[in-house]
């Protein structure tokens, strides 16, 4: 996160429990809460989403940080996953995975005949 990000108070708009799944059945591990929120910068409202270990109620408030050059960017999980470097990381990871899969298939079925 760059320097100059500013604090603002966000307001919870919804909160729901998310439980991890283990295949076709629900896992017994505790889940987390998915929290949707909104915040205002210079009269414009922005939305975001994050997670929380505790349940929050609609109207609860908490602090977040936002980029004053692009107020829609904030330090929530949703915003972090939208950053270009994160998407590039996912693309590279996917390409490596496909390359390894292709190599395994070629070496197994074409080179060992």
- Per-residue confidence in pLDDT tens, the chain, 113 aa: 557 899 999 999 999 988 776 655 555 667 788 999 999 999 999 998 888 888 999 999 999 999 999 999 888 755 444 445 445 555 666 667 677 777 677 777 776 65
**Residue pair 59/11 in contact by the 8 Å Cβ criterion:** yes
* pTM, full prediction: 0.61
Alpha helices (H) in 1-113, listed in sequence order: 77-81, 84-109
| Segments making up each domain of the chain, as ranges | 6-82
Chain centroid, CA 2 distance in Å: 18
Q: What SS3 state is found at 29?
A: coil
């Amino acid at each position: 996160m760059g320097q100059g990000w500013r604090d603002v108070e966000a307001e919870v708009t919804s909160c729901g429990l998310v439980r991890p799944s283990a295949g076709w059945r629900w896992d017994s591990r505790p889940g987390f809460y998915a929290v949707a929120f909104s915040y205002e910068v210079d009269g414009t409202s922005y939305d975001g989403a994050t997670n929380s270990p505790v349940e929050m109620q609609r109207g609860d408030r908490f602090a977040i940080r936002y980029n004053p050059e692009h107020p829609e960017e904030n330090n929530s999980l949703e915003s972090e996953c939208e950053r270009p470097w994160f998407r590039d990381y996912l693309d590279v990871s996917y390409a490596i995975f496909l390359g390894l899969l292709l190599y395994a298939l070629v070496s197994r079925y074409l080179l060992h005949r």
